[in-house]
Amino acid sequence: MQIVSTTESSSPADAPEDGSVQAVYPPSPEFVAQANAGPELYEHADADRLKFWATQARRLDWDTDFDQVLDWPDAPFAKWFVGGKLNVAANCVDRHVAAGKGDRVAIHWVGEPGDSRDITYSQLLDEVSRAANYFTSIGLEAGDRVAIYMPMVPEAIVTMLSCARLGLTHSVVFAGFSATALRSRVDDAQAKLVVTTDGQFRREKPAPLKAAVDEALGTGDDAAESVEHVLVVRRTNHDPDMNWVEGRDVWWDDTVAESSPKHEYEAFDSEHPLFLLYTSGTTGKPKGIVHTSGGYLTQTSYTFHYVFDHKEGRDVFWCGADIGWVTGHSYLVYGPLSNGATEIIYEGTPNSPNEHRHFEVIEKYGVTTYYIAPTLIRTFMKWGRTIPDSHDLSSLRLLGSVGEPINPEAWRWYRDVIGHNRCPIVDTWWQTETGSAMISPLPGVTATKPGSAMAPLPGISANIVDDDGNKVAPGEQGYLVLDQPWPSMLRGIWGDDERFKDTYWSRFAEQGWYFAGDGARYDEDGALWVLGRIDDVMNVSGHRISTAEVESALVGHHAVAEAAVIGATDATTGQGIVAFVILREGIDTDHETLISEMKSHVSVDISPIAKPREINIVPELPKTRSGKIMRRLLRDVAEGNELGDTSTLVDPTVFEAIRSQRS
Ligand code: ATP
Ligand code: MG
């Protein structure tokens, strides 16, 4: 596609005078002048993709150089940077210290109750070395698995890096998950060590966490047999009933903290497994996605530099994801730290103690680059602009979005209210499986459109195809596929090669393409729009309509803060569109009037075919702990079925409220 590079201004003065909304946002000349990326990146990648990736791999320090960029005859099992050896942790920490940047702050950690710590690269090196020495002392060896079940405390990142340093494969399990979820992941990976905290802060109150580990690991005949040790970081100091298993459980303070801060690292093969991460389970049983070292670090490092236009020593980066998700792995740990970045790690929720928290952090630390999910942007919209407006957000210079399609209304609000119409927005499409950002604008190069992830990044090749694998025409929906391997691609599903081939490579087996499971379309200008999971495409009287588009239209109505749309079985139309909406603060029009307004709004905005059969105004939407709407459960509600598996929901009680609104 054509990537528009232009020096036109994109100030608010550019907005169309007829009152219609601006459709394209070219980069400002000021941003272009200082951008890391230029149009030549695409040219280099197009001219010789493997050479391009070899150049990106040279961003890292290799102890032994690689002699082949890609090995793909055994597809879909890829090997990148074959023959190369490196240490991932040394690339994220040691080399910055060696280059004289040891005093630079790596992590501004902001605790939930108001405590904070600044950790320099030198201090990080000490901590990582201590943990590595302790892990070695308890007999852990390269290839062993370590489960990490921790809130957002610095020790979680120290643990991840220490694992990387020793060639241990970490498996981070989100600390909001249940004991059952932890146990199934510990068993699947046969983890030898579990690292946790005594407790975690939830809305200013300490809640036990180790208790869930005890429950997960069981006792006697039911005990998780792989686990030898549980390492406990003291965080809340507030669980008087805490259980302690002698011989198994140890305090971080008594062990890691007492270990030597000197550790010699060893280099590992480029394909050495770095981590397992179980997908969030929006669609089914979580899969243990396997990522390896050289290729993963190359692409996270490369994308961090260009997509976030990172300026070493100047920027303060903040990714709002939890380390329990892939975004936390790639853009809280490996991407930023391999680039020597200074970043924020925030422990709590955006509204503890109140809705000002994120903006206070931005103001206090001078955050320049802010990367969050659309669900949070829509939450901010719901809270209203007076909150961000009461803070100085002038340090911000780039905004990012990830996790779901971002509806144009939320995109514009983000750009206007948070970014003051100055900051480019990068809407980054990627997955746990892809390891790093894949489809995204390049700031300073791409003229962006609200709601579109625009184009594959240089070095990445994607396509949108129909059932037979033919490229779809502009405007038509198709399947998003990745038709060339990429360095940070998943190397498999832990212990299940068949499921790996089946899930991702069987749909377009003949062509050898990766099937992402998402629907997408091109617009007339060739920009790429991701429409969400193909399971989320409805069929109404033979018309294929994406839930994301109807949701976008609904959020475009002034009263709506957030919307979830599903296709419920309908005797006459096949599927009927059922919507669940949350209102913005301070809307007091009666619901009947609002609902009829919303219906005609969708009808005008998309087409009468897309008009919802039913709209329910509800107080909350069911979400996974990563903030994604669980549409399959809403479908159960709309169809009057028993609810399916609710184990990954944040708050299963939302259904009582939703059901009572419908009756
Ligand atoms: P599971 O695969 O277990 O059902 P999941 O797909 O939600 O869970 P993730 O890997 O965290 O787990 O999310 C990747 C998915 O999120 C993508 O496939 C896509 O549907 C959606 N997504 C992520 N970023 C974007 C984006 N910028 N635009 C549109 N969709 C996005
Ligand atoms: Mg997925």
Q: Express each pLDDT in 239-249 by its tens digit.
A: 788 999 999 99
Q: Is the CB of 111 under 6 A from ligand 1?
A: no
541 marked as part of a ligand binding site: yes
Q: How confident is the model at residue 466 (pLDDT cuts 50, 70, 90)?
A: very high
> Considering every ligand atom, which ligand is closest to the CA of 532?
1
19: pLDDT strictly greater than 70: no
Q: Is the CB of 324 under 6 A from ligand 1?
A: no
Given the candidates 2.60.40.10, 3.30.565.10, 3.40.50.1820, 3.30.300.30, the CATH classification of the domain at 541-662 is: 3.30.300.30
Which tokens is 367 given? Answer: 């955050």
Distance separating alpha carbons of residues 213 and 207, to the nearest angstrom: 13
Q: Express each pLDDT in 508-553 by its tens digit.
A: 999 999 999 999 999 999 999 999 888 777 888 777 788 888 998 9
31: pLDDT strictly greater than 80: yes
Which carries the bigger pLDDT value, residue 293 or residue 1?
293
**What pLDDT sits at residue 10?**
39
Please report the ipTM that was assigned to this predicted complex.
0.99
Which tokens is 155 given? Answer: 């020790």
Residue nearest to atom 21 of ligand 1 (CA): 404
> Considering every ligand atom, which ligand is closest to the CA of 425?
1
6: pLDDT strictly greater than 50: no
Q: Are strands 369-372 and 316-319 parallel, antiparallel or unpaired?
A: parallel
Distance separating alpha carbons of residues 548 and 542, to the nearest angstrom: 18
Q: How confident is the model at residue 657 (pLDDT cuts 50, 70, 90)?
A: confident
Kindly state the DSSP code that residue 151 receives in the 8-state scheme. Answer: -
For 317, the 3-state DSSP assignment is strand
Please report which helix (H) or strand (E) contains residue 134, including its range. Answer: helix 121-137
Q: How confident is the model at residue 268 (pLDDT cuts 50, 70, 90)?
A: very high
Tell how far the Cα of 404 is from the centroid of ligand 1, in angstroms.
6
Q: Is the CB of 451 under 6 A from ligand 1?
A: no
Tell how far the Cα of 639 is from the centroid of ligand 2, in angstroms.
24
Query: What is the chain's mean pLDDT, rounded?
Result: 92
Give the distance, in angstroms, between the CA of residue 129 and the centroid of all CA atoms in the same chain. 28
> Considering every ligand atom, which ligand is closest to the CA of 286?
1
Q: Is the CB of 534 under 6 A from ligand 1?
A: no
Which tokens is 591 given? Answer: 């619901």
Q: Express each pLDDT in 101-136 by its tens digit.
A: 999 999 999 999 999 999 999 999 999 999 999 999
Mutate which of 303, 402, 430 for ligand 1? The one with the most ligand atoms within 8 Å of its CB, which is 430
Distance separating alpha carbons of residues 348 and 113, to the nearest angstrom: 8
Q: How confident is the model at residue 11 (pLDDT cuts 50, 70, 90)?
A: very low
Q: Is the CB of 403 under 6 A from ligand 1?
A: yes
Distance separating alpha carbons of residues 78 and 92, to the nearest angstrom: 24
Tell how far the Cα of 308 is from the centroid of ligand 2, in angstroms.
23
Q: Express each pLDDT in 572-615 by its tens digit.
A: 888 899 999 999 988 989 999 999 999 999 988 888 889 999 99
**What pLDDT sits at residue 599?**
95
7: pLDDT strictly greater than 60: no
**What pLDDT sits at residue 280?**
63
Mean of pLDDT values over 293-315? 98
Which tokens is 235 given? Answer: 């965080």
Mutate which of 280, 376, 481 for ligand 1? The one with the most ligand atoms within 8 Å of its CB, which is 280
Q: Express each pLDDT in 92-107 by its tens digit.
A: 999 999 999 999 999 9
Q: Is the CB of 648 under 6 A from ligand 1?
A: no
Ordered DSSP codes for 555-618:
HTSTTEEEEEEEEEEETTTEEEEEEEEEEPTT--S-HHHHHHHHHHHHHHHT-GGG--SEEEE-
Taking every pair of Cα atoms in the chain, the longest distance, rounded to a whole number of angstroms, is: 73
For 479, the 3-state DSSP assignment is strand
Tell how far the Cα of 429 is from the centroid of ligand 1, in angstroms.
8
Distance separating alpha carbons of residues 263 and 121, to the nearest angstrom: 15
**What pLDDT sits at residue 648?**
64
Q: How confident is the model at residue 282 (pLDDT cuts 50, 70, 90)?
A: low
Q: Is the CB of 330 under 6 A from ligand 1?
A: no
Q: Taking the CA atoms of the chain, what radius of gyration do you get in angstroms?
A: 24
Q: Hunting for tokens 């036109």 — which residue is that? A: 8
14: pLDDT strictly greater than 70: no
Question: Could you give the residue ranges of the DSSP H alpha helices within 466-590?
Answer: 497-500, 547-555
Q: Is the CB of 431 under 6 A from ligand 1?
A: yes
Mean of pLDDT values over 47-64? 98
pTM: 0.89
Mean of pLDDT values over 459-477? 96
Q: Is the peptide bond before 408 cis (omega within 30 degrees of 0)?
A: no
**Contact by Cβ (8 Å): 234, 253:** yes
Closest Cα to residue 164, out of 333, 32, 49? 333
**Contact by Cβ (8 Å): 24, 448:** yes
